[in-house]
Amino acid sequence: MTETTKTHVILLSCGSFNPITKGHIQMFERARDYLHKTGRFIVIGGIVSPVHDSYGKQGLVSSRHRLTMCQLAVQSSDWIRVDPWECYQDTWQTTCSVLEHHRDLMKRVTGCILSNVNTPSMTPVIGQPQNESPQPIYQNRNISNKPTAAKILGKMGESLSRICCVRPPVERFTFVDENANLGTVMRYEEIELRILLLCGSDLLESFCIPGLWNESDMEVIVGDFGIVVVPRDGTDTDRIMNHSSILRKYKNNILVVKDDVNHPMSVVSSTKSRLALQHGDGHVVDYLSQPVIDYILKSQLYINASG
């Protein structure tokens, strides 16, 4: 399978991030490594989306603080970024709404038609699909109508860098030579681009709790987008999926990370990191990166909080 035939993936993680832990970042890294090892995917970006303040969770600090901590946590990453859209809305947004927002944004700024996991080979094309002759999506009216690799890739890279902090390598996107005699047909290299929800197995388990999730939202999340699950140690994800008719229905859209990393999911726990802060436990460095710890201490967050 060539680079251009692999599915290009953006991993999206929604959560409180109260505060964001080392484990949250490691989940992104583990998921990316696993997807690459399957030989089917290229992860081109990761997005951290903190929940809105009106989510109402006990002990949830202001989104202003949570966004800053998230930005500090990913500052050394060249492919994970923090997106404030969810926090900036008037009220709490469902996970389904956040996924749909990023899908629509990606479509607008890249010109790509994002793939539905159920029909992955049908649509994603950079620029115009074949057998059509309108203006190219990234046409500058002051220049020639012929699109060049540099023009389109430059715009594509610029767009993706705004969304994902990643500029795709040139070799991933191969366009026909600008001097080729194509007439009115413009053939662009097709790629498949997909946004996948990144989560722990605790979220997967929550899908099985009656009434907790809107079933139509679950259909969209798992059926239209798909999810990547980083399991807790010893978690039987097959058993969890068998407890939900929707998870069983879309089992092929659920990618469970399987690796040899000894990575206890307790390190992901924001609750344990808050308790460590409140008790002055030096093990807080196991949970949080130093820039996040420094910000928390400077802002006096969680120290006297409960929950």
3-state SS class at 229: strand
By CB atoms closer than 10 A (0-12, 13-18, 19+), residue 210 is: exposed
Give every CB contact of residue 286 below 8 A, 6+ residues apart in sequence.
22, 267
Is it true that the peptide bond before 147 is cis, omega within 30 degrees of 0?
A: no
pLDDT of residue 3: 73
Would you say 159 and 109 are in contact if contact means Cβ atoms under 8 Å apart?
Answer: yes
pLDDT of residue 4: 66
Task: Please tell me the total number of residues recorded for the chain in this structure.
Answer: 307
Which residue type sits at 214? N
Alpha-carbon torsion (100, 104, 109, 115), positive or negative: positive
Q: Residue written as tokens 């006096």? A: 300
By CB atoms closer than 10 A (0-12, 13-18, 19+), residue 39 is: exposed
Q: Rounded distance, CA 199 to CA 19, Å?
A: 16
* pTM, to two decimals: 0.78
Q: Rounded distance, CA 114 to CA 260, Å?
A: 32
pLDDT of residue 232: 79
Q: What is the DSSP-derived secondary structure letter of residue 81?
A: E
46: part of which helix (H) or strand (E)?
strand 41-50
Query: Mean pLDDT of residues grouped by 10 in the chain (307 residues)?
Result: 82 97 95 96 95 94 97 95 96 97 84 53 33 31 34 48 44 33 40 90 94 96 96 87 95 91 67 90 92 96 70
Q: Which two tokens stand for residue 249?
A: 């229905």
pLDDT of residue 115: 59
Q: Rounded distance, CA 263 to CA 280, Å?
A: 24
Would you say 54 and 5 are in contact if contact means Cβ atoms under 8 Å apart?
Answer: no
Q: Which two tokens stand for residue 287?
A: 């949970």
Q: Rounded distance, CA 292 to CA 20, Å?
A: 8
pLDDT of residue 190: 58
3-state SS class at 204: helix
